[in-house]
Homo-oligomer: A and B are copies of this chain.
Amino acid sequence: MQVKKRRVMSPKQAAACCRPVDDLLDPALFKALCDPTRTRLLGCLVKCGRACSVTEVAECCSVDFSVVSRHLALLARAEILVARREGRVVRYVVRYARLGKLLRELADAIEEHAPTEEPCCAGGRRGSC
């Protein structure tokens, strides 16, 4: 059985390689998800499974309309939601595929670097471990 090669390196060396992890570990995405009000609104939208107006979503939370509007706009800017105008109503929908893909790819990328041996320093040279 072919075992994947894995270089043992310092954090500084690691910083300069393996782009995929860095690209997926995007602080901008997490910044959009780090606020409790925002995750609550997003949770409602996710579970709702359809396009919802700002007014509808605002019923989930005890904050001001304007706050909900701002949060939804921010989530849309982060490409987590999409906004669609229908007359004077704006409906937001979750980008299920995109969000799922991003999170899954990140999970994969992280686990890909997990050490195979339990003791993380097995077989390493003194200098690098």
Contacts and interface: CB of A to CB of B under 8 A. Distances in A.
A129 B50 contact: yes
A44 to B, nearest CB: 4
A57 interface: yes
Nearest to A31: B34
By DSSP majority rule, is chain A's interface helix, strand, loop, or mixed? helix
A30 B39 contact: yes
Contacts of A56: 10-12
Residue in A42, A46, A56, A111 whose Cβ sees the most chain B Cβ within 10 Å = A46
A1 to B, nearest CB: 20
Interface in A5-62: 6, 8-12, 14-15, 17-18, 21-22, 25-27, 30-31, 33-36, 38-52, 56-57, 59-60
A49 B8 contact: yes
Contacts of A104: 103-104, 107
21 contacts: A6-B49, A8-B50, A9-B48, A11-B45, A11-B52, A27-B33, A30-B34, A34-B34, A46-B113, A50-B121, A50-B128, A50-B129, A93-B120, A96-B111, A96-B113, A96-B115, A97-B111, A97-B114, A99-B107, A100-B107, A103-B106
